[in-house]
Amino acid sequence: MNEQNETYFGWLTSLIGITDATDNLLRVCTYLYGIKYKWRFVLDKNRALAGENLRHEYMSLSGTSLEEMPDSDCSVFEMLVALSARFSENANISIRQAYIEICCNLRVLPEQLGEITFEKVENRINKWLDGDQDCRACPGPFPLLRYSGDARNMDLWSLMNAYISENYPLAKDWLK
C-alpha cells in the first residue's frame, strides 16, 4: 500500500473502532481490504457503491484529491465498513459491535481462523460471495435462523433487515 492508501485504510479502521496496531482483527481487515467485493444480486451493487462512497467521504474530510485515492473496485473491507455503519444504525449498536458481529457470522475472526492467513480469509469470503452457504445464509454476514425460505436468494439489504428483526426486535413500547 502506498502512503495515501495506508492513511485511508487507517481512517477506515478507526471508523470501526480499531486503533491498536496489535489488534489481531487489524490483520483480518488488511486481508479483507485486498479482496474485491463482487455481488451476485443487482441490488447488492448498492453495497459496493456505499463502500466506494467512503472514499469520497474521506477525500472530503482529508482534502485528498481523487488522483491520490485508490483507483480500484470496492474492496470487501470497504463494503463491510459501510454495511456495518447501516447495521449499527438500524440495530442500535456500536459500529464496532456491528463489524465484529458480521465478521463472526462470516467466520473470519482471528479466534475462528486459528492461524490468520490471507488464503483462509479469502477462501471464506469467496465461499460467501459465490453463494456457497446453507439455506439460512450461513456462513454469511447475516445468517437467518428462523427464516423458512432459502436465504441464499436474498440481497444483503434484505438479509440485514431480516437478521435485525430476528436478533434485535423492537421493544413493545417503541411508539411511546
pLDDT tens track of the chain, all 176 residues? 667 678 899 999 999 998 877 678 899 999 999 999 999 999 999 999 999 999 989 988 988 877 777 678 899 999 999 999 999 999 999 999 999 999 999 999 888 888 888 999 999 999 999 999 999 999 999 999 998 999 999 999 999 999 999 999 775 655 55
Contact between 19 and 13 under an 8 Å Cβ cutoff? The reply is yes
At 140, give phi and psi (nearest 5°).
-170, 175
Residues 125 and 146: their CA atoms lie apart, in Å, by 23
Per the document, the length of the chain is 176
Contact between 163 and 142 under an 8 Å Cβ cutoff? The reply is yes
Cell of 101: 458481529
Q: Specify the DSSP element, H or E, that contains 5.
A: helix 3-15
pTM for the model = 0.91
